[in-house]
Each structure stands twice: as C-alpha cells, then as structure tokens.
C-alpha cells in the first residue's frame, strides 16, 4: 500500500507578508504597538485628539515608509550585514613584532 506525501516546496524561503521580508515584519509590528501605546498614553494624559491623531498618523506613515524602504533596500539579511560591516575596523595596528615572531614556536 503506497502512502501519499505532500511536498512542501517553500521550506527554505524567507517569510514574506505584503512585500515585507523576514525580520521587517517584526519591526513593523513593534513600531505599530509602540504607536498604539503612545496614543493610549497621550489620550490618558488628555492630549487633544486634534493634536494626537495627526501626530500618530504622520509617525505611522513614516514607520511604514521606513520599514518598506529598508526591506526593499537590504532584503532578508542585508541590514544585519550592513550593520556588522560598519563595526569592522578600517585597519589594525601592531606595536610589536612579537606576535608574528612567536607564531613558529610551539
């Protein structure tokens, strides 16, 4: 008796949602939660809605624009590589030759 197995062809593909790749989905979600908390705190502090709504709307639009721009510019792992490359030193200085002269010794 032969068994029928379905093949999952998307195993190694990155997670995508509406054009956002991988970790950018989490960045957008965290940003939206922070905007919601900011709105709630402003509302509790009785900040006028005529001030609060445009500020949250502008910040939300900027968040969407920035996250989608980062997602399209860097892709799945590009932002991590970009940030890691910025931390590399441009050159290394050695004040002594002792390191190189002792390499042959056991």
pLDDT for the residue 78:
83
Instruction: Tell me how far apart the alpha carbons of residues 31 and 33 are, in angstroms, rounded to a whole number.
Output: 5
Q: What is the pLDDT of residues 31-87, one digit of tens each?
A: 999 999 999 999 999 999 999 999 999 999 999 999 989 888 888 888 888 888 888
pTM of the model: 0.67
Q: Which residues pair with 17 in a beta bridge?
A: 20
Q: Which ranges of the chain would DSSP assign to H, the alpha helix?
A: 23-44, 49-74, 78-86, 98-101
């Amino acid at each position: 008796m032969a068994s029928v197995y379905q093949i999952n062809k998307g195993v190694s593909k990155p997670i995508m949602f509406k054009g956002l790749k991988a970790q950018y989905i989490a960045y957008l979600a965290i940003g939206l939660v922070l905007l919601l908390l900011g709105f709630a705190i402003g509302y509790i502090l009785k900040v006028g809605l005529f001030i609060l709504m445009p500020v949250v709307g502008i910040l939300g639009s900027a968040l969407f624009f920035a996250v989608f721009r980062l997602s399209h510019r860097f892709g799945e792992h590009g932002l991590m590589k970009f940030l890691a490359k910025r931390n590399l030193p441009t050159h290394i200085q050695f004040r002594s030759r002792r390191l190189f002269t002792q390499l042959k010794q056991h």
